[in-house]
Amino acid sequence: MLTTQQIYAQLYQLSEHSQAGVLHYIQFLVSQQKTHHLSRASPQPKKRKFGSVPGKYQLAADFDAPLEDFQEYLP
């Protein structure tokens, strides 16, 4: 509680405008803490299963054929 007492002592020395700024900063920190806590508590997304959308994507018949652009590099 010593830290809380130190905060209060310093806070009372500030102008009202500065105290309002401190209040906004404290509210920001609390919201960040809640957001961080919620993000850690959320379950991991489900792992994707291979082949779960059959027929949605089609490979071209010549997918693995050599490309003309690379003919000069082939043996």
Residues 35-63: tens digit of each pLDDT: 776 666 667 788 888 887 888 888 889 99
Residue 57 domain-assigned (yes or no)? no
pTM of the predicted structure, to 2 decimals: 0.45
**Tokens in use for 56?**
């949605």
14 neighbors 22 (Cβ within 8 angstroms) = yes
Least confident of 7-11, 22-26, 41-45, 61-65: 41-45
Q: Looking at the domain assignment, is residue 36 inside a domain?
A: yes
**Number of domains within the chain:** 1
**Exposure string over 54-64, b if 16+ CB within 10 A, otherwise e:** eeeeeeeeeee
Within-domain flag for 49? no
Is residue 30 domain-resident?
yes
Name the residue range of residue 20's domain.
16-40
